[in-house]
Structure 1
Amino acid sequence: MLDLFKKYRTLLLLCAFVLSALLFYSTHLRTQERTTLFEKMVLVFTGPLQQGMDGLVTTVADTWSRYLWLVRTEEENRELLQENRRLKAALDQLEEVRLSNERLRTLLNFREDIQLPALPARVIGEDASGWFRTVVIDRGSADGVTEGLAVVVPEGAVGRIIAVAPGYARVLLVTDPSSAVAALVQRSRTRGVARGRGDSLSFEYALRDQDVVIGDRIISSGMGGLFPKGIVLGTVTQVAREGYRMFQEVEIAPFVDFDQLEEVLILLKEDA
């Protein structure tokens, strides 16, 4: 212990002197009325140091507060972002419900307009092979569905049932090349057959001198027992009377958007 004191004697004495001076200064400061030269020197030397220390402490405190504020802000932003996503998903679901209700309301109104027994169904699949134009619906023989029934939407004709299972049925679209519907021109009453062409239809067996023009609406004639009379098939987009052919070539754009089918009506037999 004595060796340690001898080794740091000068430093210890200096610290003791400074401490004693500060204690004396502090005690004397409470009782004196005037500032001494020594006190002035102390203020001169310690003032900048205290100012610097105060500034450093303030800066550190501000930095720490700003860091804590940024952390809280980031957490709040993350929570707000998650809440925004939840609300957006809820709004999307509500919008889908609203659109579905609108389609079903339109379908039910159309059902009342045609005054025929009809069964609503949802489209749950479509042919993926590319060989046929068909869709699958969620109604089958258990619901009274049989082969040959017509399928429609408010925009017009969809197709006919060609295969039935207890809970499902397959519908051949009117645009399939193997589909044919007895039809007529609504304006001029010219008769013919609307046949599928993949994405469109053709109006066949209309004599070259019969009245068919671009923009005419083609509807089902009611003959053949498939569709009732007046179901819209499409609009004439092209008419050609070439050479000495007996029949004119007429192309029809279907009213129904078959890529957007979601709900349909199956037209039941009168005694069903």
Structure 2
Amino acid sequence: MLDLLKKYRTLFLLCAFVLSALLFYSTHLRHQERTTLFEKVVLILTGPLQQGMDVMVTTVADTWGRYLWLVGAEKDNRELHEENRRLKAELDQLEEVRLSNERLRKLLNFREDTQLPALPARVIGEDASGWFRTVVIDRGSADGVTEGLAVVVPEGAVGRIIAVAPGHARVLLVTDPSSAVASLVQRSRTRGVARGRGDSLSFEYALRDQDVAIGDRVISSGMGGIFPKGIVLGTVTQVAREGYRMFQEVEIVPAVDFDQLEEVLVLLKENP
């Protein structure tokens, strides 16, 4: 301890002098009417020190305040980011519910307009092999579904049931090459058969002199026992009458977007 006092003796004496001067100045300041020479010396010596201390204290306080503000701002930003993500997820869910409700409303309106007994179903799978154009729905024999029933949406024909289990059924799409639907051109009443071609349909057995034009809508004719009359199959996009062929070559774009298929209606048999 003595060694420390000896080493910093000058500094200790200077601090003691400054403190004594400040105490003396504070004690006699209120009792004197004018500033003495000693007080002037004290002010000259301690003024810069007090100014420096004030600047240092202010700087430290400002820096600490900014640090606390940045910490608080970072926390607020993190909380706002999480809240934004949560609200966005809720909005996405609400939008999905809204879209689903719109599709179901269309199905119900279509069922009421057609006045046919129908069972709503959801598409839960599709054929991934590329050999067949089929989908799987979440309704089966336990719901009254049987093979051969037509499957539709408000936009038009989807396909027919080809396999049934208690809780599921497989639907052969109208675009499958093995699918054929008796149909007619709505405008001219030209009859033919709409056959699947993978991603499109062809309208077959229309004689070359019969009236078929691009833009004509093709509907089911009601013959064949699968689809009732008037179900839309698609729109004519190409007509060819080449050479001496007996029949026209007619291509149809399907009315249904099968890549966006989610809910369908299974048309049930009417009770006799």
TM class by shorter-chain length?
A: over 0.9
- Aligned partner of 1:144 in structure 2 is 144
Residues 31-180 of structure 1: pairs in structure 2 closer than 5 A: 31-180=31-180
Partner of 1:210, secondary structure, is coil
Question: Who is 1:190 aligned against?
Answer: 190
Distance, in Å, in 1 between the alignment partners of 2:248 and 2:8 is 121
Is 1:269 aligned with 2:269?
A: yes
Counterpart-to-counterpart distance in 2, 1:166 and 1:177: 27
TM-score of the superposed pair, with normalisation by structure 2: 0.93
Distance 1:206 1:5 in 2: 119
Deviation digits for residues 5-28 of structure 1 (CA, Å, limit 9, x no counterpart):
777766666655555444433333
Cα deviation code 1:77-113 (max 9, x no counterpart): 2112211211121121111111111111110110011
Over 3 Å counting, the alpha-carbon distance change for 1:231 and 1:208 in structure 2 is same
Mapped to 2, the partners of 1:227 and 1:2 lie a distance apart of 112
Structure 1 residue 32: Cα displacement = 2.1
What is the Cα deviation at residue 115 of structure 1?
A: 1.4
Q: Distance in 1 between matches of 2:18 and 2:209?
A: 125
- Once the two structures are superposed, the pairs formed by residues 198-237 of structure 1 within 5 Å of their partners are 198-237=198-237
CA distance in 2, matches of 1:201, 1:6: 107
**Once the 2 structures are TM-superposed, how far is the Cα of residue 29 of structure 1 from its aligned partner?**
2.6
Separation (CA, whole Å) in 1 of partners of 2:201 and 2:70: 65
SS of alignment partner, residue 194 of structure 1: strand
SS in 1 for 2:116: coil
Secondary structure of 1:95's counterpart equals helix
Amino acid in structure 1 at the alignment position of 2:149 = L
Mapped partners of 1:256, 1:201: distance in 2: 12
Q: Which amino acid aligns with 1:110?
A: F
What TM-score comes out, normalization by structure 1 length?
0.93
Counterparts of 1:68 and 1:181, CA distance in 2 = 75
Cα distance, 1:270–1:96 mapped onto 2, change above 3 Å: same
* Cα displacement (A) at 1:251: 0.1
2: CA distance, partners of 1:7 / 1:84: 63
Alignment RMSD: 2.0
1:7–1:125 CA distance, 2 compared to 1 (3 A): closer
CA contact (8 A) 2:18 2:46 kept: no
Q: Name the aligned partner's letter for residue 123 of structure 1.
A: V
Structure 1 residues 4 and 144: alpha-carbon distance in aligned structure 2, compared to 1, 3 A threshold: closer
**How big is the shift at 1:30?**
3.3
Which string of whole-angstrom CA distances, capped at 9 and with x for unpartnered residues, describes residues 193-221 of structure 1? 00000100000011111110101100001
- Change in Cα spacing, 1:247 to 1:52, as seen in structure 2 (3 Å) is same
Match of 1:31, SS? coil
| Distance in 1 (alpha carbons) for counterparts of 2:150 and 2:3 | 114
Q: Indicate how the Cα distance of structure 1 residues 10 and 265 shifts in structure 2: closer, same or farther if over 3 A, else same.
A: closer
**2:147–2:161: 8 Å Cα contact kept in structure 1?**
yes
Decide whether aligned partners of structure 1 residues 48 and 244 sit closer, same or farther in structure 2, where only a CA change above 3 A counts.
Answer: same
- Asked if the contact 2:181/2:194 (under 8 Å) is kept, the reply is yes
The amino acid of 1:254's aligned partner reads P
Gaps of at least 5 residues in structure 1 are none
- CA separation of 1:179 and 1:28: change in aligned 2, threshold 3 A: same
